[in-house]
Amino acid sequence: MSKQIFINLAVTDLQRSVDFYTALGFVNNPQFSDDTGKVYGLERKYFCDATDPR
């Protein structure tokens, strides 16, 4: 059975977090992303949800 890890992070600068996770090799999942948050995946196992809480 495959395991997945989801991490939810509140960020103050969404574009800066987009740049950071893209540089690490994460790929944006547009199905779960909008102007207030982005979901990034790595190898279909690790996911990061960067959300601007404002």
- Whether the model pTM is above 0.85: no
Summarised one tens digit per residue, pLDDT across range 12-46 is: 898 998 899 889 888 888 888 888 888 888 767 66
Q: How far from the centroid of its chain's Cα atoms is residue 27's Cα?
A: 8
CATH number assigned to the domain comprising residue 20: 3.30.720
pLDDT reading at 48 higher than 70: no
> What is the number of structural domains in the chain?
1
Q: Give the strand pairing for 37-42 and 27-28.
A: antiparallel
Reported as a pLDDT band with limits 50, 70 and 90, residue 54 is low
Range of the domain at 10: 5-51
